[in-house]
A and B are shown apart, each in its own frame.
Chain A
Amino acid sequence: MLEVKALDKSYSSSTIPFRKKSTKVLENISFRINKHETLCIVGESGCGKTTLAKCLVNLEKPDNGRIILEGRDVTFPDRKTLSFLHTKVQMIFQNADTSLNPRHLIYDSLAEPLRLQCQNEDNVRKRVLQLLNHVGLSEEHLHRYPHQLSGGQNQRIAIARSIALHPDLLIADEITAALDVSVQAQILQLLKTLKKEMDMTLLFISHDLALVKRIADRVAVMQEGKIVEINDTNEVFHNPQSPYTKQLISSMSKLSLNNHDLK
């Protein structure tokens, strides 16, 4: 459904021309996401996984390479292609506190994508209630502000908003990193149900290997802007090829709840 070919991206640290120092954040990234699967991208902080996600929804522009969505090139979209991209792909951010406008009521945050599609206010209201229902919140939450809800509840709102326009591909960038384990389990169960109900494909970005092991169909391991390994989940965890993956997995298993070595 989505194919990425040889994507490069670098940031320059200065705005002064001719004195640019550029750092490569993405280097020759190629992979594909198949319909209905859950692909996880794992990597430590600063490995470029968020930048990659942002490139996929056109929030960042890659330097080189191609992104092909259902046969259509969306790398450098014009206006029409952009709205095609936006109806197909949506992204949820790590921190729900910053992805909801603190001055907007929950209702207005949820209504925003619908209003942007110029739907009339009756339909907007109906759909907002429907969305709220989908993510397990009740009507009483509608007329509150984000700071009056918990982190987990805000993340539910962010999820509800992202599915408002029925995307086919949902990108979830570390969406449970700031949450507690029990809330994380709630959010992931929700995501799993929604994925099934709405027939979505999921690109899940995380640094938590235990979590990835549990939910991924395939795993891509990123290190310093490169994909060092991409394979089926079982293969990656039981037969890791790259030294980096091996190191990650060994760290994870040493901290694991089933390990007794450290004691």
Chain B
Amino acid sequence: MIKGIINRSILIGLILIGAVLFLALAAPWLAPHDPQQTNFEQRLLSPSSEYPFGTDHLGRCILSRVLFAARISLFIGASVIGISFIAGTMIGSISAYAGGIVDEIVMRFVDGFLAFPSMFIALAIAGIFGGSMTGLIIALSIVEWTAYARVSRGSVLAVKNMDYIAVSRMMGGRAPYILRHHILPNITSPLLVLSTLGMGNVILAAAGLSFLGLGVSSAPEWGMMVNEGRLFIQSAPHVMFFPGIFIVITVLGFNFLGDGLRDIFDPRDTKQRWRLF
């Protein structure tokens, strides 16, 4: 069963994500130095056996910082996706199920959000909160939930008019029961794909905001590290390179996984053609 389902994209995605996740979880044991320890004697050192990724402009070990930053990035990604998934799906599916004027109002509200470039809104909100992790998460969630609302609304509209919903109503099923038993299970696949692909985007956006100085300031973060390395791109490119490559690997992993999942859930998949006979 499982063997037939897993395709190459999913495999690559899982390996990349698994690796990053492992490094993040094992950071305290893997990191050779304290990520916050400054040492002005040893600024901007190139990679060596003592500092495998080199040191930054304050003499901090880049490897240790990158490993600890993985925790922050993944945490931000997971919480933003979690919040947006729950809020967006609830709002979207209730709006579609209720229909009529409720649906109109909610969807115009969502359109309002989509009318602005998402980075612009995130910037504004993160700015209000100043540089903090909570601020970052709130800002990105506010941008992200609209996608889930739209996708879940579309899926619910497609499922809503199925006869089995009518049958359930006829048997005495009420709205919450029908949403839980019939509608949600039928709309999870596109949302799952969306959230995996979204994870990459969120990590990228978080790095972007940090890069602009609106992210987490107390702990290492990939985007912030890239920003710090910007000044030394000529003299010490490794300062920027290592956090950058970790961003790329993580985002790539989630995109591979999302693509693979989408292939599986696509009804036009050739493997599913057997249902026609």
Contacts and interface: CB of A to CB of B under 8 A. Distances in A.
Nearest to A164: B171
Interface of A: 15, 54, 57-59, 82-83, 86, 90-91, 93, 95, 98-103, 109, 112-113, 116-117, 147, 158, 161-162, 164-165
Contacts of A101: 162, 164, 181-182, 185-186
Given A15-B100, A116-B177, A147-B275, A99 B164 contact: yes
19 contacts: A15-B100, A54-B166, A58-B170, A82-B172, A86-B170, A90-B170, A91-B170, A93-B166, A98-B162, A98-B163, A98-B164, A99-B166, A101-B182, A103-B185, A109-B164, A112-B168, A112-B173, A116-B172, A164-B171
B169 interface: yes
**Interface SS of chain B: helix, strand, loop or mixed?**
helix
Contact of A99 (B104, B167, B169, B185): B167
Given A101-B186, A116-B173, A15 B104 contact: yes
B170 A103 contact: no
A58 B181 CA distance: 21
A117 B177 CA distance: 12
A164 B162 CA distance: 21
Nearest to A98: B163
Contacts of B185: 101, 103
A58 B185 CA distance: 26
Contact of B172 (A91, A99, A117, A161): A117
Contact of A112 (B100, B166, B171, B186): B171
Nearest to B188: A103
A84 B169 CA distance: 13
Contacts of A164: 171
A203 to B, nearest CB: 14
Contacts of A15: 100, 104
A26 B171 CA distance: 25
Interface in B232-277: 275
A91 B169 CA distance: 11
A218 to B, nearest CB: 24
A59 B172 contact: no
Contact of B166 (A59, A116, A117): A59
B138 to A, nearest CB: 34
